[in-house]
Amino acid sequence: MSEETEIFFPDAGSLPFPFTVRSLLTNAGSTVERGTKLLNYSFVYRPTDSGNKPETRFGSWEATFEGDLKAWNIKPGDVVTRERAKSRPALRIVEPCKHGVQFNGLCALCGID
């Protein structure tokens, strides 16, 4: 069973909001596996020490899901705030399995990991 799913940026502290999208590393139509680097971003790091100046740092967002990337809802140059990340999906993906019943990490209905 395959279904299209909207994927939002994680809000559990793994991304430094706000950040600027620098490049999309995976094209629409590509197959995404867990751990695939999806995009590069930059952000301004502000040290807690008053004597240090803010500096630009870089990072990447890696997939915690798998499937076929249908479409991006962002582009390079976009600034993503925490509010935008919650309100608009980053991408749409077609996942190989959307069944809700799992047993030991496998789908109890179709057997996909």
Gyration radius of the chain over CA positions: 17
Q: Is pTM beyond 0.95 here?
A: no
What's the confidence (pLDDT) of residue 14? 82
Q: Identify residue 50 by its one-letter amino acid code.
A: S
What's the confidence (pLDDT) of residue 13? 76
pLDDT in tens, the chain (113 residues): 566 889 999 876 789 999 999 999 999 999 999 899 999 999 999 988 878 899 999 999 999 888 999 999 999 999 999 999 999 999 999 987 666 666 555 677 666 66
Phi then psi dihedrals of residue 107, to 5 deg: -65, 130
Does residue 86 sit in helix, strand or coil?
helix
What's the confidence (pLDDT) of residue 95? 82
Please report how many Cα atoms fall inside a 13 Å half-sphere around the Cα of residue 23, on the Cβ side. Answer: 6
What's the confidence (pLDDT) of residue 36? 95
Cβ neighbours of residue 54 closer than 8 Å, sequence gap 6 or more: 44, 45, 46, 47
